[in-house]
Structures are given as structure tokens and as C-alpha cells.
Structure 1
């Protein structure tokens, strides 16, 4: 299985490869230099005096360099291609190393206290407010939000909405009893008095209409009065009836606690209770609602609403000088000001963010850290080893260099001790 896409760019990887080759060449050069010195000293000197120190130093330097070369190479591959036990550790143990690294990260980093404290010390709210206070960033946020909305709208077709409405929403609504929910909604409306404005509007319009059209009552009285009744009597009755009706409607309009209003409230409460219980009214309401939902025009109406909503949303997204985007910018500016000036608000928001992040990490830390082990498990062993060596191999070459230098110093010290001892 191929290794996943590289985290860095090709230029970064090329630079790392050059640095690795340079350090590897330098470390190998030190080993070659120590071997050359060792060979020359043994060929052309008697190994006495200072030459003894040089010989022992070069010998120990070679030993240290070769030992550290073996140790570094054994991490990534078999030295000299020989299948020596406990070599090529990373290719052979990459899955185990991935699990260990995942457990280490989860146990030491993805902890509630650690993450919460880091978020609190970072002052996320204040820094976010400072960033958001700049007009350019506000414009960027609004534009990105608009692009995201346009992306969603472009990928939700009318056919999808039609299929969703016809095949999912309407059948689900038909299969569900709607009368209890309707009764509960009606009861909430009555309890909150939300219908009073509608009653005020209807009563007020009725009073104005009757006041502007007195002939309506006159016509009713004329049609209902007997033929033998004199004309003046019909006029008196219609005039009196018109005054009484207008007076009664005015009382209902002006008195919020009129008996007619109370009777209407009681009637609506009774309807709401009947809808919430298995009654004939609830059954009739259910049948009416089902018939309405199964009408072909329901899907067309939903599509028309969706088309209108898309046009409105697109207009708001496209018009950067429009009222919608201007209002969003003002809201962002107000939020940014409060985030940067209201220390109590910022501290409270930071605390909530820290608590939420800590809870998430505490609950899902293991799953989050498992990304490491799962990713490493999916890598090809050799390519994974090469990639890891590319990133850390340059620093590991210092082990070879240090081994060469320290070996030379230790060889010199040991030779000095052998001369001093009896």
C-alpha cells in the first residue's frame, strides 16, 4: 500500500534530502579519516610516544563510528543488507511504534486538564476578537460564509428537494398523527395570548368595514322584513341594528377582557384539548390534514418556496454592498468589540470553550490519537521508513559524528591510563 500524500512540499523534501546526504557524507568522512590515520600510524610509526596516542584515538574513533553507524542504520534497514536480528526496527515494528505513539499522545497530551489549561492561557476569545475587529477580516468571514452557502445551494437541486418532499417528508407526515401536535400548538398560542393581535385586526377591520358600508345592514333588514311593514319602520330597525352592531364590535375591539373574547379563548382551548385526545374532531382534523398533504400541489408549493428562498439567499450572498452583508459585518464588529473589551465576557467564553474542548478530548482522546496509529498502519513499511529517515535522519547523523569524536577521546584517555598504571 503506498504511503499517503506528503505533508510537506517537494521543495521541502528535496532540501531535507540534501541536508541528510551532507550530514551522512560528513559522518562517513570522519570514519574514513579515522581509518586512514589508523592505517598510516601503524605503517609508518613505531607507535611510541605521541603516535601511540594517535593510534589508540583513531582505533577507538573507528569503533565508535562503526558502532553508532550500525545503531542508526538498524533503525531503518538491515545493515549491509544482512538480516541481523533486531535490525530494521521501524519497518518491522512500525505498527507497534504507531500504537505506542498513539497511546503516548493520548495519555500525555490529549487530557482534559492539559487541553483546558492550554486554551485558557491562549486567550482564544480576545485573540479572535482582535482578528475579527479588522474590516478586512470581517469581509473575509462574510465572503467565505457566502461562498459556503453558494456551494451548498449549487449542490442541492430542485429534483433533490422534490424527491425529499414527495418520498420522505410527506409520507412521514402522513404516517404521523398531527392532531395532537396541532392541539398542543394551539394551546400554547392561546396561553401566550399570541392570537390577540389577530383578533384585534379582525374586529378592527370589521368595525371599519361596517362603518363604511351601512347599506349592508339596510339590505339585510329590507330583505327580511315583511311586505306589509312600512318603509320608515324598516329604516328605524336597520338604523338601530347598525348602531347596536357597531357598538358591540367596538366594545369587543376596545375591551381586552370582553365576554366575547373570553368565549373565543374558551372555545379555542376546548378545540385544543379535543385535538390532543382521541376524539371525532381530532380524527376529522387528521383526515383533512392528510388530504391536504397528499395533494399534488403540496410538492409544487414546496418547490416554489425553495426557489424563492434560493433567490433571496443568492441575492444576499452576491450583493456585497447589500443590507444583509452590511448587517452581518456590523454584528461581527459588535461581537469583536465585546470580545476584546469585556474581560468578564471573554473569560466566561474562554472557560466554556476550554470546558467543552476538555470534555471532548476526555471522551474522544483515544479515537483522536488513533489517527496516528491508523495512518502509520496504512503506510508501506519501506516507504514509511524512508520518509521517517528523511525527517529525522539528519539529526541522527550527529550520533555517528559524536560517536567518532567521543571514541577518539576515550581511546586517548584509556591509552593514557595504561601508561600511568604499573
Structure 2
């Protein structure tokens, strides 16, 4: 019997009677007993007053009050009991209202929650009260959590890399990259790069390297021998007889070396100015000349069309994938450390930037409210299905347990209102009808 009571008092889906339900049941039983006692008292008062009213006429008023109070109490007892079960077990129509209308109650409850609690406006207003961004920032700012998240992410990265490689996305990305590069005009870009390089005459360092290379060439025995042979071939036989080639070579090397030393020592040497003019003219031609632009575009197209480029991209992707997979397996993963540091930094910056937090919170509101709007009919159906699936005895007892105590006060009200009505009717009968 105790086990049965436990099952009845438990809420649907619960297996044991908790302390709160026990307190509610005790309070309900107490109010029921008081209401029943009051009804019995009304009947007893009516009986006693009826018996002695011939000796004491004033008891007729008390009898009228008690009689009407008893009738009102019985009627309201019937009304309250009829909500939950059939009074005295009799098959009276329109009784056991809640069990008989379980499906309709379930559907109406689901629709009520959907319309009144999951409407778009109230949901958005409630979501705006929550600072989602601050919660995310606080969560990420904790190094232990950031490290755990980075560990989770690093496990997925190799799978993502492999999936991208097998899905054809790699080839698609390569094609899109080539298309975007093809849209870039090379000549103006090269002109801008060269202009940046020549800022503050930095290109003169290249000229200095050229002079240094020429100086090394003038001291190279093999190069000098080749130059002497060329000079000898151009001289007449008589000059070759007197070894004029050696003399000319020595003079050429000496003059060239002296000139190179002058250029190297003088930052304003005319040759440097000539080099400045050459570079500036070349940059201007890159910007303005259609011929140079066409040559640059042809060079770019030839470069993009070479199969070695596609092989290089594939090889680079495979190398990246292998590195990521190897690093992910390492207990001292560099990627994981960087990710953890990145997450902590994101949390810190997010907590400091209120504008980003506001945008982020608005995004949460839009996303979650849209989700609720799409799913609220499902929530309504879910609630209705759950209520329909409840055991009738449990459902009835659950409702009675939570609202039955207040319903019992209807019996008290019925006895008081009924008694007053009976007293007024009896008084009116005496006053107007002389009874």
C-alpha cells in the first residue's frame, strides 16, 4: 500500500516521493479533513436546530443557515471531486473531467506555452537580458578551459585537412586562387614594388653590388685572359707582334678599376644618377607602357599554366597535412599551445571590447530566437505528447496535489455563501410571507 502511495504521489517521470510532495499531500489531507468536518458540523447543527426549533423559534434561523450551508458544501464537494474522479464511483455524466479530457488538456497546454511563452517578442527580450559574450569571454579566459578546447580542436584538424584533400576542395581552392591571381595586373603591381624598393635610393645598394662584382671580374685571371684573347683577335698582326694586347688590356683594366673606385666612393657620381634615371624610367614604363603590360601578363599566364605549379601546390598541401597530423599526435604539440594561447587572448580581448560583445550578443539573440521560432511547434507537440503519455492516476494526482488545497477552500466558501443565502431566504420568508 505504501509503495502504491509513493507511485501516486510521484510526479510523472519520477520514481520516488520527495519531501516537497509529501508536504503538499499532508497539507491537502489536512484541509480536506477540516472541510469534511465543517460539513459534518453543518449537518449536526441543522439536525439539532430542527429538533428544538419548536421550543426555541430562533433556532429556525440557525437551522436555515446550517441546512443551506450543508447543501452548498455538498454541492461544492461534488464539483471539486468531479474534476478529478467520479463522485462515489458513480458513472455520472460530465464527471472525472480531467482524466476524460487528458488529450485536449495536453494539446491546449502545448499551444498555450507555444503562444504565450515562446512568442518571438518575449523570447528576444529575455535573450537580450543575457550577456552571452561575457560568458564566452569568461569561459575562454580560463587557461585550463582554453587548453581543453585546443586539445579538442587539434584532434579535429588532421581529419579536416584529410577531408578537404579528399573532397576536391583543394583543387577548387587552387583554381580559385589561380583565377584571382590572373585578375591581378602584374605590371602596375611590379611598378609599385619597385617604387617601394627605390624609396630613399635603396636601389643604390644593388648598384654597389654590381660595382663590386665588376671589380671582382677585373681581378679574375680567367676573365682577363678571355678579354686579352678578344683584344688580340681585333688587332693587326704588327700590333700583336709587339704584344699591344697586353698593354691595352692593362690600360683598360686600370681605367675601369679607377672609375669603379670613383663611383664607389662618390654617392653623387654621374653614373649613379644614370642608374637612378634608368630605374625611374623602367618603373614608369611598367605603369604606362601597353607593351610592358602585355609582356608581364604573358609571363604571368605562362607561369600559371605550368604543370609544375599545380604539382608544387599539391606537394605543399600534402606537406602541411603531414606536419599537422604529426604535430597533433605529439604530447608537446606546438599548434595546441598556440591555439590555447589564442583562445585565452580572444577571451581577454572580448571581455575588454564592449562593441564586439554587443555585436556578438545581438548575433546570439538573432540566432537563438530564430531557432526557437523554428522549433517552438515541436516543443508544443513534445509537451502535448508527454502529457498524453502520463498515467491517468499520476496525472490526476499531480494536479490535485498542486491545486487541490486551493480547491478545498471552494467547499468552505460554498458552505458560507450557501448558509448566508439560506438565512436570507428564511428571513425573507418570515418577513414577507409570514412563515
Normalised to the residue count of structure 1, the TM-score between the two structures is 0.65
The C-alpha deviation readout for 1:71-117, integer Å capped at 9, x for no partner, is 223323343455544333333433321211333444456555x549x
Residue equivalent to 1:164: 160
Shifted more, 74-83 versus 216-225: the winner is 216-225
Task: Quote the Cα distance in structure 2 between the aligned partners of 1:5 and 1:198.
Answer: 75
The C-alpha deviation readout for 1:358-389, integer Å capped at 9, x for no partner, is 87776655445445424433433332333333
Task: Quote the Cα distance in structure 1 between the aligned partners of 2:398 and 2:91.
Answer: 21
* Structure 1 unaligned spans of 5+: 340-344
The CA deviation at 1:404 is: 1.9
Q: Kindly indicate whether residue 391 of structure 2 is the aligned counterpart of residue 387 of structure 1.
A: no
1:232-311 map, 5 Å: 233=252, 236=256, 239=260, 258-260=284-286, 281=305, 285-293=309-317, 295=318, 298-301=321-324, 304=327, 307-311=333-337
The CA deviation at 1:170 is: 1.5
The C-alpha deviation readout for 1:256-280, integer Å capped at 9, x for no partner, is 96334678976776688899xxxx8
Q: Secondary structure at the match of 1:3?
A: coil
Residue equivalent to 2:4: none
Contact 1:20–1:394 at 8 Å: present in 2 too? yes
The C-alpha deviation readout for 1:308-362, integer Å capped at 9, x for no partner, is 34313434667xxxx7665444324x779xx8xxxxx9xxx99x99998887776
Residue equivalent to 1:421: 433
Task: Quote the Cα distance in structure 2 between the aligned partners of 1:75 and 1:196.
Answer: 90
The CA deviation at 1:15 is: 4.6
Residue equivalent to 2:352: 330
Relative to structure 1, is the Cα distance of residues 371 and 10 closer, same or farther in structure 2, using a 3 angstrom cutoff? same
Task: Quote the Cα distance in structure 2 between the aligned partners of 1:76 and 1:245.
Answer: 110
Relative to structure 1, is the Cα distance of residues 104 and 208 closer, same or farther in structure 2, using a 3 angstrom cutoff? same
* Structure 2 unaligned spans of 5+: 1-6, 231-248
Which of structures 1 and 2 has the bigger CA Rg?
Answer: 2
The C-alpha deviation readout for 1:144-176, integer Å capped at 9, x for no partner, is 344565554454463x4333332x222114675
Normalised to the residue count of structure 2, the TM-score between the two structures is 0.64
The CA deviation at 1:51 is: 2.2
Contact 2:140–2:347 at 8 Å: present in 1 too? no
Residue equivalent to 2:181: 186
Shifted more, 72-81 versus 236-245: the winner is 236-245
Contact 2:65–2:418 at 8 Å: present in 1 too? yes
Task: Quote the Cα distance in structure 2 between the aligned partners of 1:64 and 1:267.
Answer: 107
Q: Secondary structure at the match of 1:177?
A: helix
Task: Quote the Cα distance in structure 2 between the aligned partners of 1:194 and 1:200.
Answer: 10
Residue equivalent to 2:419: 408
Relative to structure 1, is the Cα distance of residues 314 and 354 closer, same or farther in structure 2, using a 3 angstrom cutoff? closer
Residue equivalent to 2:94: 86
Task: Quote the Cα distance in structure 1 between the aligned partners of 2:80 and 2:20.
Answer: 23
The C-alpha deviation readout for 1:217-251, integer Å capped at 9, x for no partner, is 55568677734263664683995999999879867
Task: Quote the Cα distance in structure 2 between the aligned partners of 1:377 and 1:245.
Answer: 98
Residue equivalent to 2:84: 76
Relative to structure 1, is the Cα distance of residues 69 and 270 closer, same or farther in structure 2, using a 3 angstrom cutoff? farther
The root-mean-square deviation of aligned C-alpha atoms, in Å, is 5.3
How many residue pairs match? The answer is: 383
Shifted more, 402-411 versus 71-80: the winner is 71-80
The CA deviation at 1:407 is: 1.6
Residue equivalent to 2:240: none
Task: Quote the Cα distance in structure 1 between the aligned partners of 2:85 and 2:403.
Answer: 15
